[in-house]
Structure 1
Amino acid sequence: MQGTGRKRPVSSCIPCYSKKQKCNHEYPCNNCTRRRRPEECAYYPSQAVQTTSLAETQKERMNNENENENEKNVGLPLDLSSNNYSRINPEPKHSLAELYGYFEDSSLNTLAREYHLEFSSSFPSYYTMVRNLGLDEEETRHGLRQRLTPNIIDEVQRDMDRIPDRQVVDFLVQYFMSEVNWMDQLIHPPWFLSQYQRWWAIRQLTRVSEVEFAVLILRICSYASQFLPSPSYTLDGIRGVSLADIRHTCDDIATKLAAICNRCDSRGSLFRVQHLAFLGLRYLSEGKSNAFCEALNHTIRVAQSIGLHSDAVTSRHGLNELDREMRRRTFCNLYIWDSISSRQLDRVPFLPSGLRNWPLMRLVSAENGGTQSEADVPEEFTSRLLQARLFDFWRNLGPIQDSEYVITEAEDRYEKFCSEFLTSLPSSFKLHPDKSWDKRFPKLPLQRQLLHIFIFESLCWNYRPLLPKDMGYIQSLPAYKRVLLSSQKRGLAVAALHVLDGVTILHTMMGGSHTRFPGIIFYTFEAAVLLAYQCMDLDFPGVNHDAPLNSEAKAKRDPLRVGITNLTREECIQAIHRSLNRLRMLAEVSSMAEVGAHTLAGILNKIPIAEGDNRKTTDTSNYQYDSTTANKVTDSLHSELPDSSSFDELISLVGLQEMSPNWEPLTSDFADGLTAVTGPLESWDVQKENP
């Protein structure tokens, strides 16, 4: 008689299981790394709650090795220099650049100019001067190979012993790469995963960069846990530990390790910029906008101190192209967040416009229907780059802060935006997009939808200053300006409706479940308030003076005109109700949504009801999200959701599938690094030597 025991759980990653290869159960595993496809390494969701003694055994062995290593390091001298002057005059605790506020890689500041007058015919950087004067970088305060003292190593180790089990960390990193990273794309998966696997091979953290990377991992885990549970993972814990406890542990350890890094190296590195950015994103997902703004300010200061704003700095340091690309992508993200924050909070940006140290738009080689093509297939960062260009366009063209609203200038900006920016979008990202690559790249529809939300939100921002105008001012205008102003008010309402429709579609694509994603919550509230403000006027939208468009081509060039022609007040009020429903649902997991729902409900109750209006207050106390709403609103955006099979595949996707750019020969260093994950960390040294 056959046994009735349970089927043994699958412990191998999906690629190894399908290829029937022996997997070492790490992330990324040995086989995926050897195949140079670490981003494809993925495990079934159920493996997050399976128990195994392998991780505990490895952790115990590593602890024993660390204790032996500590005993060997005790008593070793930290300064091996035999220079008598060094012993008589010990190294200062702070660098000259730190105390005087000089940018160390500048070729134009006082240090560089004085050295030019005495020693050189060119403008060398600060570090060039240090080397020419006979001081090795190892001996400087900001030595990029800087090692930790034994006492600090022990302090770091005590915190590292509290890190969650590696399987928990692997699961959160994997979930972040596959389900969260598409939103901001701060991390390039192949670059990060190569560093990630080498980091786990380190027996003991003895350098600042290694500790900085530990902080980055912890910040990623904390941020990823904000989006759990989810449609692809419905449990509220991992391996028996609650998500709240995991998040608290990661944040606590990361904060302590980050403080150690600041004490040892006040300047920072790319890793520091990234983990500070993730801290800010966590604040934003928790609804702490002011804390996000402060974290962004700190992040930008560190980024400027290491020269992230200047590609010339990275060129002088000799970084390979992949590392330079990561710096450009990080700076591009900082520019986007700074633009969004300054617009939402009505503050002056930290970064001025014109700083375009951004990546180039790249095409990838992809196969579709058996044919190889590079016609118009963007790699995964293209959507983020388009967002940066969108904000830069409005920074250079948009209204000056606190300036008087000029009706004709607002219309000129809109026409220029339609003729210059919208026409320059790649076909996969246009408002009427080419969707032939959507099934090949599952995250492309989500990235495109988020870009469209930003596009219509920017149009709201262009027309928003017209709302406070009183009737006395409007009546004083010439007749043609009153007509134009009325058209712009309708255009503002149409743009807000497009934002809400886009948010509905995006939310449905993400599973229509509870989420803390600010892109869903914030823009739902913002657009709904704009509509509510206009609906306070019983005569809104008034008489339409705009002629209907006679062709689809004209509609593509003027995305608001079609909506202006058919706009009704009832449509706007219903959109506000749907927004309130969404905010009330999300209020269960988000304080931002909770406060937004309470505020919007109060505003909605103040909207006057027109005579003959049968509108009723909607009871949303037991509201459940209805995904069919998205299917109805897609007609107004001339966009469609993927078919049911591809949508289910998108939601159930566990492995990382992304668009990979063709880096050509420039990635040889990266590819070689993947084959030597247990060797010395040369790439770490390059990163530290040349921030």
Structure 2
Amino acid sequence: MSTSNKKRSNPGSLSHTSGAKRGRKTTSCSQCHARKQKCDRELPCSRCVQRGVPDLCRWPEREIEVTAHEAVGTADTQGTELGQLYIARGAPSFFGNSYFGHQVAARMIQESAPDLPPMSLLSSKDSLQSFRNDSGPFSQVWDLLGLLPRNKVTVDRLIERFLTEINWAIDTVHPTTFRSQFAEFWGRKFGFDEIAGVDLRWLALLFIILAYSVLLDGSSTTSPEKRKESEEASLRFYWAARRAIVISPSFHGESLDLVRAGLMVTRYLLYTRQAAESWLTISFAMRMAQAQGMHIDGEKWGLSRKATETRRRLWSNLYLLDKTIALALGRPYAISDHMCLIKAPENVWLDGLTDEQSALEVAHPLSRPTMSTVTLLGNGLAKIAGEIQDRCFGLYPASYDLVIEMDNKLLSWKKQLPAYFSVEHPEVSLDELHTFLPWHRLYLHSAFHFARITLHRPYLLRESITNRFSLSHEACISSASADLKVRLKSLGYGTAENMRWTLGTHNMFNSAFILGIIAVRRPHAAQTAAILNDLEEYCERLRKDVWLNEFGLAEVKVVELCIIRTTGLAQSARQSDEQPAMSPPEVVPDLVTHNGEREPMMAADINLEPNILGASPDMIWPAVWEDSNFAFPQAADLSTWEQMISEIAYHT
């Protein structure tokens, strides 16, 4: 091989020096130029490789010499410069070419922080040439693009539906930026090379937005067939988003769009009541954020104030979901606070401002609400939720004094809420001016009630001659009742309002479960009749929901099981007054047929066996309930719930 041939490694990827000849520059090899085909400017290029003539792929000698000289000079100046690998791949990452731990981050912070490279929707196609084969990741792009509607008007309508109905309440994307990104994406040239440059990180975000939008778009239909089509289309977009999230690191580095997509996939699972799976997706989204250094505050990186606040908000949303989902499921969370160095968001909204304007913007007091206020306050609640899991639900049992201490922290957080977010009797005069306030209020209230119920749940069934656990009894019934009241109101919403409501953290936990257990435990208490009335209305409204899926239906069945057990206990008590000689196994008969009014609702769904209560079970559920390591089984596990409720009723 000649010396000149050794030098020409990538003749088309570097620009020419001033010594190059003037006029039109050659952009194709000799073979592609003769056939008037687009060349990828590699040596040999992909076209010549496909035609089986890589040895005929040639470039003009003068151009080879110039570009070879430039390549050597560029390599000398670049060295191992921080972040160079990811910059070359078009990724908006700035921290280096591998994941770093907190020790490496600390060392980098002490030095001058690198600047963020400019973000672009389309990454350099030169970085994707290695994926040009049917067996590689590139083939996945064709499949994903094939799932998009062919009509741009359709996609435009779906995007606008999401931006106008959901985005402003849940802080997903900046509308103007997203519209311009979509215009750039749709305006690309359709061809092998341009498709190779599609940013899958942004495409994942587009897919999950479409997953929400098709449900909103089908909300007005009354046809079951049309609703079924909307649900199926939504699931296709949802799975496309998850697929794009998984494979995009094979093409690009991480990006904020990828983190946003992971966050919205998690919210989608909460919306559909799949809490267990949401634990996996929020963990993946958190890793994507950590890989970009989001666990280190933007001020430490020397980022602009606008970029810093954007990252803080996104991190805080992930943080709240991570802590609350883990607490609900009794599983480890993904974020270790002692390995993070990040501040809570400021009470200021910088989206739509330039970097210069953002630097001059003054943070507002809490008395003046902004779109960031809910994130700021939610971040504080998430820290308490994480501490509750660490100290009260860890590997070692916690004392009741510690439970009281954590309850005081929750109450202190509640007291510092501004008037418009107050848990009791909130000030609603600002709701008309700030349309997001009612929804943000619901998010904070539901998260607070969830944390307090979870904290006191192990002590709900405990009795004490000194009434020591009265705080837990009162806290559970107070928070569960307040939360159910809001849920009953939400069941009268339309599809858009209901989706805004259920995208909060609350939908992974149902306060109706707690109220049902309270009723079973105390069937003769003064408030039990009112609890049963509310639970019956709750189940009735849920069953009328045309969008109710199998996960929601499973929750309804569990609550109905509590209703039937409680009603049966009350009736059995009345019968025992009339027939005192009743034998113990007959205390709670088969309750499915005991109340004719509820028989159509339950008979086809739950098979209760009367002899369950007369047996000697190996597992005593009241004791298991009191175990701090116990977490609610999935609602779909109806047999477990049946056994638990039956045994709690038996030991009443």
- TM-score using structure 1 length: 0.58
Map of 2:373 onto structure 1: 382
Map of 1:404 onto structure 2: 397
1:173 counterpart (139, 142, 159): 159
Instruction: Point out the more displaced range, 331-340 or 484-493.
Output: 484-493
Map of 2:145 onto structure 1: 160
1:490 counterpart (474, 481, 499): 474
Work out the CA distance in 1 between the residues paired with 2:387 and 2:332: 14
Cα offset for 1:518?
4.7
Amino acid at match of 2:254: G
What RMSD in Å do the two structures reach over aligned CA positions? 4.7
Map of 2:286 onto structure 1: 300
Map of 2:529 onto structure 1: 570
Q: Equivalent residue of 1:508, what SS?
A: coil
Map of 1:590 onto structure 2: 549
Map of 1:151 onto structure 2: 132
Amino acid at match of 1:279: V
Q: How does 1:148-547 map to 2 (within 5 A)?
A: 148-149=128-129, 151=132, 156=141, 159-160=144-145, 162-164=147-149, 165-182=151-168, 184-203=170-189, 205=194, 210-227=199-216, 229-230=218-219, 242-244=229-231, 246-247=233-234, 249-251=236-238, 253-254=240-241, 257-258=244-245, 261-265=248-252, 267-312=253-298, 315-316=301-302, 318=303, 320-353=304-337, 355=340, 356-362=342-348, 376-396=367-387, 399-402=391-394, 403-404=396-397, 406-418=399-411, 420-431=412-423, 432-469=425-462, 471=463, 474-475=464-465, 479=466, 482=467, 484-510=468-494, 518=502, 526-538=510-522, 541=525
Find out whether 1:579 has 2:538 as its counterpart.
yes
Work out the CA distance in 2 between the residues paired with 1:327 and 1:352: 18
Identity of counterpart residues, as a percentage? 16
Cα offset for 1:362?
2.3
Cα offset for 1:247?
3.0
Work out the CA distance in 2 between the residues paired with 1:450 and 1:501: 14
Q: How does 1:45-194 map to 2 (within 5 A)?
A: 73-77=38-42, 83=71, 104=98, 109=103, 123=111, 147-149=127-129, 151=132, 156=141, 159-160=144-145, 162-164=147-149, 165-182=151-168, 184-194=170-180
Cα offset for 1:437?
1.7
Report if aligned partners of 1:581, 1:620 keep a CA contact under 8 Å in 2.
Answer: no
Report if aligned partners of 2:208, 2:241 keep a CA contact under 8 Å in 1.
Answer: yes
Cα offset for 1:283?
3.2
Amino acid at match of 1:380: M
Cα offset for 1:598?
1.9
Work out the CA distance in 2 between the residues paired with 1:221 and 1:334: 21
Report if aligned partners of 1:332, 1:388 keep a CA contact under 8 Å in 2.
Answer: yes
- TM-score using structure 2 length: 0.62
Work out the CA distance in 1 between the residues paired with 2:299 and 2:350: 28
Unaligned runs of 5+ in 2: 1-32, 46-66, 87-94, 352-363, 576-593, 603-652
Aligned residues: 481
Deviation per CA, 1:331-355, whole angstroms, max 9, x where unpaired? 1111111012101111121112464
Work out the CA distance in 1 between the residues paired with 2:300 and 2:175: 21
Report if aligned partners of 1:146, 1:207 keep a CA contact under 8 Å in 2.
Answer: no
Cα offset for 1:496?
0.7
Report if aligned partners of 1:216, 1:275 keep a CA contact under 8 Å in 2.
Answer: yes
Q: Equivalent residue of 1:609, what SS?
A: helix
Amino acid at match of 2:410: F
Q: 1:104 to 1:520 in 2, by over 3 A?
A: closer
Cα offset for 1:223?
3.0
Work out the CA distance in 2 between the residues paired with 1:314 and 1:190: 28
Q: 1:277 to 1:568 in 2, by over 3 A?
A: same
Cα offset for 1:217?
0.8
Cα offset for 1:499?
0.9
Q: 1:162 to 1:224 in 2, by over 3 A?
A: closer
Pick the structure with greater CA Rg: 2
Work out the CA distance in 1 between the residues paired with 2:422 and 2:416: 9
Work out the CA distance in 1 between the residues paired with 2:36 and 2:306: 38
Q: Equivalent residue of 1:536, what SS?
A: helix
Q: 1:495 to 1:257 in 2, by over 3 A?
A: closer
Cα offset for 1:582?
3.4
Q: 1:442 to 1:618 in 2, by over 3 A?
A: farther
Amino acid at match of 2:306: L
Work out the CA distance in 1 between the residues paired with 2:68 and 2:545: 61
Q: Equivalent residue of 1:223, what SS?
A: helix
Report if aligned partners of 2:313, 2:345 keep a CA contact under 8 Å in 1.
Answer: yes
Work out the CA distance in 1 between the residues paired with 2:366 and 2:275: 41
Work out the CA distance in 1 between the residues paired with 2:372 and 2:267: 18
Report if aligned partners of 1:180, 1:224 keep a CA contact under 8 Å in 2.
Answer: no
Q: 1:361 to 1:400 in 2, by over 3 A?
A: same
Work out the CA distance in 2 between the residues paired with 1:577 and 1:211: 46
Q: 1:234 to 1:415 in 2, by over 3 A?
A: same
Map of 2:606 onto structure 1: none
Cα offset for 1:221?
0.5
Work out the CA distance in 2 between the residues paired with 1:524 and 1:434: 28
Report if aligned partners of 1:280, 1:296 keep a CA contact under 8 Å in 2.
Answer: yes
Q: Equivalent residue of 1:570, what SS?
A: helix
Work out the CA distance in 2 between the residues paired with 1:185 and 1:456: 22
Work out the CA distance in 2 between the residues paired with 1:425 and 1:172: 36
Q: Equivalent residue of 1:410, what SS?
A: helix
Higher relative contact order (CA 8 A, sep 6+): 1
Report if aligned partners of 2:450, 2:506 keep a CA contact under 8 Å in 1.
Answer: no
Deviation per CA, 1:662-689, whole angstroms, max 9, x where unpaired? xxxxxxxxxxxxxxxxxxxxxxxxxxxx
Q: Equivalent residue of 1:148, what SS?
A: helix
Instruction: Point out the more displaced range, 352-361 or 373-382.
Output: 373-382
Work out the CA distance in 1 between the residues paired with 2:37 and 2:387: 59
Q: 1:487 to 1:190 in 2, by over 3 A?
A: same
Work out the CA distance in 2 between the residues paired with 1:282 and 1:297: 15
Cα offset for 1:449?
2.3
Q: Equivalent residue of 2:426, what SS?
A: coil
